[in-house]
Structures are given as structure tokens and as C-alpha cells.
Amino acid sequence: MKEKLFERLENYYKEMVNIRRYLHQNPELSFKEIKTSAFIAEYYKRLGVEVKTGVGGNGVVARIKGGKPGKTVALRADFDALPIHEETGLPFKSLVPGVMHACGHDGHTATLLILARVLNEMKAELSGEYVMIHQHAEEYAPGGAKPMIEDGCLEGVDVIFGTHLWADGPYGNIRYRKGPIMAAADRFEIIIKGYGGHGAQPHKTKDAIVIGAQLVTNLQQIVSRRVSPIESAVVTVGYFVSDNAFNVIADNAKLGGTVRTFNEDVRSMIEQEIERIVKGTCIAAGCEYEYNYYRGYPAVVNHDAETDFLVDVAKEIPENTLIEESKPEMGGEDFAYYLQHVKGTFFFTGARPDGVEQGYPHHHPKFDINEKAMLAAAKTMGLAAIKSAIE
């Protein structure tokens, strides 16, 4: 069974690459993936596989029933792109100005489509049922996972697996972790309402820029002095904007940033601490403020038994030459929502391009992946799914 799975995936590797490159040339932004969704659905229709479109928005879900009784296993791939203008110079670079697959979601989709083709060809020999979740809008909260779950994509599912092609890791690398592997990703916005005036008469104003500068400094004390050193957290101010006339003291200033955490108690505490610091700083300056905190994806928390199982499966894949425990990543992923409903695990598949010591980071205009990693991911996910389905 394993050898047949591997052989058929290898036979379709060229098609996998062609699909990835087509998607790379035709990226679509989160919540706007109309053509991508249609492309995925049409692929399944040609295979004669049961497929449902419009799941939770632009999501697509296909189901393949094995010939023997067994468990129901879900596999997930996302397919949205980013608002980035591509600078790779690849012959299959994006044809859409300002939009690019800069995170590997084109590879995720190609991987799952070819894996589905092989599972469908082998279905008479397989146990259980396989649910292929093609998810829209991973890149932009509130994301596509939650509405897809609400629309029934996990109905009857016993276990779920997902992977991310990871350009930071070399080809052949599988990184796993029990418990939290990716952080909760929130954002905040602060508007300081000062009292502007002439740049030569600061005593008649309440300088929003000076107050904002104090705020940037004060916010740094949350992680260093309010979060236990045993816990991990990030508070980053990503922008600080105001009026730009050289001789005017600003009336208003706007700050915004992100908060990353693994522990829900720490997450709530930081949300409250930001407002406490904003309030205190503005009271001291005699000005008003607005504060908004937007909760994004929760932390991705892998289940222990399923992660151990995945590690054992990964060792059976010839391409996986470096299997190691991952440090927690502060990036966010809405795969977290699936793991709140069913058991499963999310892992990283090394996809650093050949010949470089360090690939361009995810979300960079020159980002690229090692396409061979798609085959490693398909074998790992496929074998995990087949073995999980056996009762």
C-alpha cells in the first residue's frame, strides 16, 4: 500500500508542479478567490469525486470514500495569496500586479489535489473516508477556517492533518511539536487625541506625537515586566503616524501593532495591560484616546497522540531525512480552529530552495519554495491519512 502510494505520487509529480505554477501565475487575495475556487472544484469534477463549493465562503470540500470501513480523516490546504508585488523573476511569476503567492499556498493546493487524485485511484483498497478541505482566506482574519467549520466541513471527521511548506527549513526537514506550535495573532489600534498648535508654541498644545512616543516606550514594559519569563509573548508597534507639517504640533496620532501569545490568560492580560498603559499615559498628558483590540486566530495547539503518530509516519518517508522537534513559531495560523474541534496535528515541511543557505522569508516579494518539498508533503500526509483511517 505504502509503495503504491509513493509510486503514484511520483508519477504525478510533474502535474503537481504544473498545478502549482499555474496557481502561482494566477493568485487571488483572501475572500476574493473566485477563479481559484472554481479551478479546484473543476479538478475534482474531472476525477469524478464528490465536491462541494461555496463552503463558508469560497471554500471547497471534496470527499473520497474508501472501499472498507474506517475512520474519517481530513486534510487541509489553503489557497489565498498576498497583496505583494512579485520580484522573483521566475518564468511563472505572478501575472497579477500587486498580488503574489508569497507564502506557499499554491504549493499546498497542488500537493492536496494530486494526493486526492491518488487516494481516489486507490479508494477500493483503502479504509474510511478522506475529506479534502481547500480553505480560502487564511492570510486575513477572521479567516476562512471558522466559517468553513460552521458550514460543516468537519462533519464526521475523526482526525485532521495539515502542513505548511516552510522555506526556513531545508528540503527533507519535518518539524513537529506537541502542544502550542504557532501563536495567537491579535492586533491593536490606538488613536491619541491631543491638542495641536504652532510648532513654536508647544506650551499651548498637547503634543500627540510626544504622547505617542511615550506610549511606544511604555508598551515595551508589558512583556518585560508583566509577563512571566516562563511564558512567551510579543507586543510590537508596527506603525505610528500623524500629520507631517514640519512646523505644526500634531493634534492626533495613530499607533497600531500586533500581539502574539500562546497562553490564553497571558493573551487576556496583555489586552487589558495595553489599555491600562494607554489610559495612564493619556491621563498624565491630559488628552483623550480611542483603543481597539482585535482578536485574531488562537494559538495552534497540536494534540499529543496525533503528533507522535505523525512523527512515526514521517520516518517512513524516504525524503524526510531530518525530523526534529520545532520551537514554537510566533506566526499565526487559523488551522488552530480545526484543532479546537477535532484531534490532529499541524507540522512544517522544509521547502528551502536548492543552492541557498537562507531562503527569502515568507511574505517577501522574492519568496520561493523548493517544489520537491510538495512531494515529500504529499507522501507524509497521504501515509498519515491512510494509516489513521484504519480502525
> pLDDT tens digits, residue range 316-374?
999 999 999 999 999 999 999 999 999 999 999 999 999 998 989 999 999 999 999 99
Per cent of the chain over pLDDT 70 is 100
**Residue the block writes with cell 478567490:** 33
> pLDDT tens digits, residue range 158-187?
999 999 999 999 999 999 999 999 999 999
Which residues are registered as beta bridge partners of 237?
Answer: 257
282 marked as part of a ligand binding site: no
Indicate which residue of 138, 207, 333, 334 is catalytic.
138
Q: Quick one: pLDDT at residue 330? A: 95
Q: Quick one: pLDDT at residue 391? A: 75
How far is 6 from 61, CA to CA, in rounded Å? Answer: 24
Grid coordinates representing 346? 499541524
103 marked as part of a ligand binding site: yes
**Residue 368's closest CA among 167, 108, 161?**
167
Q: Is 80 a catalytic residue?
A: yes
Q: How far apart are the first and last CA of the chain?
A: 16
Burial group, residue 204, by CB count within 10 angstroms (0-12, 13-18, 19+)? exposed
CA 323 to centroid of chain Cα atoms: 21
How far is 306 from 343, CA to CA, in rounded Å? Answer: 7
381 falls in which pLDDT band (50, 70, 90)?
A: very high
H helices present in the chain, as ranges: 2-11, 13-25, 34-47, 105-121, 145-150, 208-219, 221-225, 264-285, 304-314, 336-339, 372-389
Contact yes or no for 376/319 (Cβ under 8 A)? yes
How far is 179 from 73, CA to CA, in rounded Å? Answer: 20
Q: Quick one: pLDDT at residue 238? A: 97
Burial group, residue 389, by CB count within 10 angstroms (0-12, 13-18, 19+)? buried
φ/ψ of 254, rounded to 5, equals -125, 130
Indicate which residue of 33, 78, 80, 319 is catalytic.
80
Which residues are registered as beta bridge partners of 190?
Answer: 255, 291
Mean pLDDT of the 69-92 span: 98
Say what the pTM is. Answer: 0.94
How far is 5 from 386, CA to CA, in rounded Å? Answer: 10
**Residue 115's closest CA among 62, 194, 175?**
62
Return the domain boundaries, the chain: 2-181+300-389, 184-294
> pLDDT tens digits, residue range 185-202?
999 999 999 999 999 999
> pLDDT tens digits, residue range 304-320?
999 999 999 999 999 99
- Top CATH class of 2-181+300-389 equals alpha beta
- Top CATH class of 184-294 equals alpha beta
Q: Quick one: pLDDT at residue 243? A: 84
Strands 68-78 and 50-55: unpaired
Burial group, residue 265, by CB count within 10 angstroms (0-12, 13-18, 19+)? exposed
**Type of residue at 72:** T
Q: Is 138 a catalytic residue?
A: yes
136 marked as part of a ligand binding site: no
363 marked as part of a ligand binding site: yes
189 marked as part of a ligand binding site: no
